[in-house]
Amino acid sequence: MQRVRHTDAAEFAQRPHLEIGDRAHADLEMLATGAYSPLSGFIGEADYLSVIKHLRLADGTPWSLPITLPVGAEQAEGLSGTVVLTRGGVAVGLVEVQEKYRARKAYEAREVYRTEDAAHPGVAALYAQGDVNLAGPVTLFEVPRGAFPRHHRTPAEVRAVIEARGWRSTVAFQTRNPIHRAHEYLHKVALELVDGLLLHPLVGTTKGDDVPAETRVEAYEVLLDGYYPQARTLLSVYPAAMRYAGPREAIVHALSRRNYGATHFIVGRDHAGVGSYYGTYDAQDIFGTFSQEELGIQILKFEHTFYCKTCGQLVSPRTCPHDASHHLVLSGTKVREKLRAGENLPPEFTRPPVAEVLRKAYASQD
């Protein structure tokens, strides 16, 4: 059930106020709109410990990331009952504080992120948070359509589009990077199996060297306009904040896309990963922890895809007999170097209109 409603902020003027950051604001929207269902608020201690240890809520329901509202210990003492959540001093929602408990940061880091290394962006964010978690159901005053009002849809709104288009099956694709030809290959293979594609780029907080959301969305728009079947593709932004929790985050990405109406979800290599903290296909293997029935969505697993100069097409290790010397593979670092130097990206790697969007964006940074 959605907890989004318009309200007069003056109604809560006498209640405690809590200024929240980008991640908590994103979590507030995901919780209130049903994107993080079955969660309806920031989780309590029993669920927190169960999620960390068992990848399930205390009642056994699959859920793999602690969605918490951390504050400082002194600040927590003054927060109880109905607390008004603010951004820049403007009221954006409420949390009904039902519980306060101590965060187990080291334990959470080890189990959720598989490391206590503060160089990991998710662990760094965890260590920087307050030591007390507030728990309770939330209310969002208004969906923050932000920079992408045309593409920013709640789960109910995405489901309505899917129903209106008559899609009986929909595959969702998570991305925080501009789409290149290997991604396109996965999409079109999947579209041979299902009725529609939900291209669902994450536009919440990411690490500093990721391509900005505005640039990514522009790249998606030019690509979809020229190379995808319009009636079978829907571009809609995913407002969650990135945690870089690898396998754990892949599960939440799948469960939330189920809430948006997807029947299938693509998981490729190193999904939601960063650095070398996770194995190449750990995010695929972790889904063996659950049955498809309890997940409520079918996982499509793809191996690494690349352009083979000898095959003359996009392939994977399943279909290409040639060794790495035949393959065109560009790392993210190499792509950024080329863009900063004003060089063109190979058309075998990314479509020219997408490359032009990226080139202009990087040129404007100089």
Sequence-ordered alpha helix ranges (H) in 276-324: 282-285, 292-295
Which two structure tokens, joined as six digits, stand for 278? Answer: 């996770």
Establish whether 344 is a catalytic residue.
no
In angstroms, the CA 184 to CA 170 distance is: 16
**Are 241 and 253 contacting, i.e. CB atoms less than 8 angstroms apart?**
no
SS3 217: helix
* Catalytic hit among 15, 177, 232, 336: 177
In angstroms, the CA 43 to CA 236 distance is: 27
Residues 6+ apart with CB under 8 A from 353: 222, 223, 226
Establish whether 176 is a catalytic residue.
yes
* Catalytic hit among 176, 243, 257, 269: 176
Residue among 236, 253, 235, 28 nearest 144 (CA) = 28
In angstroms, the CA 260 to CA 172 distance is: 9
Angle formed at CA 216 by CA 213 and CA 220, multiple of 5 degrees: 135
Residues noted as catalytic: 176-177
